């Protein structure tokens, strides 16, 4: 799959102002994970990469759904620029023939990034309206500078106190994100080049963590800031196929055993309706299970979907089915719940687990469903997949919305 828009999040381990800053939590979520989730929730983003020199940050980023580029020590010191980390990440991607068209530089120290603002900025760069778009807030503040002769006005005359409505607005860079044309950035080796624009974001989204006080403020704001400023609980799962485990996903992982040894399981009618909607939308689906119980094939037949069961290793079966269907693995959502699903969760583009999944499976998940196995988890996933398709249709039918962007 071509990666046309790639997010890079530089997140080094060393931080003097707030030790371990990128792993500090806001509303219970590490800053680097909040940044990864916000980026993944942007519909325009194809890949999220975290550049780090720290093993714990790398593990946290991967658990949140990002890929990791190991940053060398000489690019991770106090004097190293963000641009050097971005260029290093691009070089690593180029070596894998994954050079993007658009680069989004996201800073983990901005905990309230709205994915829709990333999407809007990406649209402006991709449509050629700007070479660079950064996040900004409008400001009417009176700025002063200390001089040898006392305080002096910077953006105003000390002898004229104009009303807010009579003063031309200025715009403050928030540091949250910068969207850039990759060719221009690699030539300039700096985040500002060519035609520069900015995306206006609400003041509440502009907080940047530089001190312990900022961290405390962010934690307090997380409970009251507009929901649109927070990482959405519902992601955009844009895939071409869905593959699920059976026990623990379509069922609650329990069985009723009769005196003759026959097993019965309980399934959700809601899940059945979700599968029907996927099938009607033309989304291929496979039930993949190690269980040899005939109930697995019977349920798949009832649902009208492909099934492979009674296999010891599910990952090769997933690969073979994807090849038969002509669907890249990165365009497949796999839903599991336990250690038997780890191989598939590692190779699917959208590894998803049910709410009551085992810790080992949770660690590999890109998204955790709110529903448990046998309790509507498959229906929840179908809603996410079909919602992403509907949103894509709406976006393709609309002209790019440029409101909120200003260029100079």
Residues written for the chain:
408
pLDDT at 344 over 90: yes
Q: What is the DSSP letter of 406?
A: E
pLDDT at 224 over 70: no
pLDDT at 113 over 80: yes
Sign of dihedral through CA atoms 325, 329, 330, 334?
A: positive
CATH architecture, range 5-229: Alpha-Beta Complex (3.90)
pLDDT at 230 over 50: no
> How many whole angstroms separate alpha carbon 251 and alpha carbon 81?
51
pLDDT at 394 over 70: no
For 187-214, b/e burial (b = at least 16 CB within 10 A) is ebeebeeebbbbbbbeeebbbbbeeeeb
CATH class, domain 241-393, is alpha beta
Give per-residue pLDDT as tens, 30-75.
899 999 988 988 889 989 999 999 889 998 888 888 999 998 887 7
Q: What is the pLDDT of residue 231?
A: 42
- Alpha carbon of residue 242 to chain centroid: 19
- Tell me the pairing of strands 132-139 and 170-181: antiparallel
Q: Where are the domains of the chain?
A: 5-229, 241-393
Q: Write the burial class of residue 260 (CB in 10 Å: 0-12 exposed, 13-18 middle, 19+ buried).
A: exposed
Give the DSSP letter string of 224-266. TS-GGGSPPSS-----SEEEE-STTTTS-S--EE-TTS-EE--
Copy the structure tokens of residue 205. 């989204």
pTM score above 0.85:
no
CA 80 → CA 105, 182, 280, distances in Å? 16, 20, 53
Question: Which one is predicted more confidently, 345 or 261?
Answer: 345
The mean of the pLDDT values for the chain is: 87
> How many whole angstroms separate alpha carbon 71 and alpha carbon 396?
37
């Amino acid at each position: 799959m071509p990666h046309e828009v790639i997010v890079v999040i530089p997140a080094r381990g060393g931080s003097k102002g707030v030790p371990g800053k990128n792993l500090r939590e806001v509303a219970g979520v590490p800053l680097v994970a909040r940044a990864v989730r916000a980026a993944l929730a942007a519909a325009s983003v194809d890949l999220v990469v975290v550049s780090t020199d720290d093993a714990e940050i790398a593990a946290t980023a991967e658990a949140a759904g990002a890929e990791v580029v190991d940053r060398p020590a000489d690019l991770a010191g106090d004097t190293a620029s963000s641009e050097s980390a971005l260029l290093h990440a691009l070089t690593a991607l180029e070596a894998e023939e994954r050079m993007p068209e658009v680069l989004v530089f996201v800073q983990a120290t901005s905990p309230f990034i709205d994915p829709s603002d990333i999407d809007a900025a990406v649209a402006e760069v991709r449509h050629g309206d700007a070479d660079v778009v950064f996040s900004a807030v409008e400001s009417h503040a009176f700025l002063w500078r200390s001089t040898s002769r006392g305080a002096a006005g910077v953006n105003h005359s000390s002898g004229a106190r104009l009303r807010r409505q009579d003063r031309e607005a200025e715009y403050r860079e928030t540091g949250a994100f910068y969207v850039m044309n990759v060719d221009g950035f690699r030539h300039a080796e700096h985040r500002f080049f060519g035609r520069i624009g900015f995306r206006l974001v609400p003041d509440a989204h502009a907080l940047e963590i530089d001190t312990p006080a900022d961290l405390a403020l962010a934690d307090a704001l997380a409970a009251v800031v507009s929901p649109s400023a927070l990482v959405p609980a519902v992601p955009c799962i844009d895939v071409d196929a869905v593959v699920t485990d059976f026990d623990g996903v379509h069922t609650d992982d329990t069985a009723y055993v009769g005196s003759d040894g026959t097993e019965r399981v309980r399934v959700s009618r809601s899940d059945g309706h979700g599968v029907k909607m996927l099938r009607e939308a033309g989304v291929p689906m496979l039930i993949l299970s190690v269980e040899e119980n005939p109930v697995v094939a019977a349920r798949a037949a009832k649902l009208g979907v492909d099934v492979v069961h009674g296999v010891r290793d599910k990952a090769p079966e997933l690969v073979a089915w994807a090849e038969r269907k002509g669907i890249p693995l990165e365009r497949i959502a796999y839903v599991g719940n336990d250690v038997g699903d780890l191989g598939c969760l590692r190779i699917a583009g959208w590894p998803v687990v049910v709410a009551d999944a085992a810790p080992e499976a949770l660690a590999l998940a890109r998204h955790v469903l709110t529903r448990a196995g046998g309790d509507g988890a498959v229906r929840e996933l179908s809603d996410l997949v079909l919602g992403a398709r509907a949103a894509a249709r709406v976006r393709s039918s609309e002209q790019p919305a440029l409101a909120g962007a200003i260029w100079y």
